[in-house]
Amino acid sequence: MKVPIDLQGDVAEVLVSEDQIQAKVLELGARISADYAGRQLTLVSVLKGSLPFMADLMRSITVPVRIDLMEVSSYGGSSTESSGLVRILKDLSASIADEHVLLVEDIIDTGLTLNYLVRYLRGKSPASLRICTLLDKPARRLVEIPVDYTGFTIDDRFVVGYGLDFGEFYRNLRYVGVLRPEVYSTPPVADAGPAVEPGPPGDPVAAAETGA
DSSP H helices, 86-140, are 112-122
Query: Residues 150-189 vs other proteins: string with x where CB under 8 A?
Result: ------x-x--------x----------------xx----
Question: What strands, in cross-sheet order, belong to the sheet with 159-160?
Answer: 11-16, 176-179, 159-160
How far, in Å, CA of 119 to CA of 127, rounded? 14
Distance of alpha carbon 179 from alpha carbon 160, whole angstroms: 6
**Quick check: is 109 catalytic?**
yes
Residues, the chain, total? Answer: 212
Q: Kindly tell me which residue out of 8, 33, 60, 80 binds other proteins, with binding defined by CB under 8 A.
A: 80
Considering only 1, 37, 38, 76, the residue that binds other proteins (CB under 8 A) is 76
CB under 8 A: which stretch of 16-24, 40-48, 84-92, 201-209 binds other proteins? 84-92
Question: Which range, of 23-31, 42-50, 68-76, 201-209, touches other proteins by CB under 8 A?
Answer: 68-76
Restricted to residues 6-65, the positions that interact with other proteins (CB under 8 A) are none
Among 39, 140, 190, 205, the residue binding other proteins under the rule CB under 8 A is: 140
116 in contact with other proteins (CB under 8 A) = yes
How far is residue 161 from each of residues 39, 64, 69, 96, 193, measured CA to CA in Å?
32, 29, 20, 30, 18
The residue (of 17 and 42) whose beta carbon lies closer to other proteins is 42
Q: Where does residue 45 rank: exposed (0-12), middle (13-18), buried (19+ CB within 10 A)?
A: buried
142 is a contact residue toward other proteins (CB under 8 A): yes
Tell me which residues are annotated as active site: 109
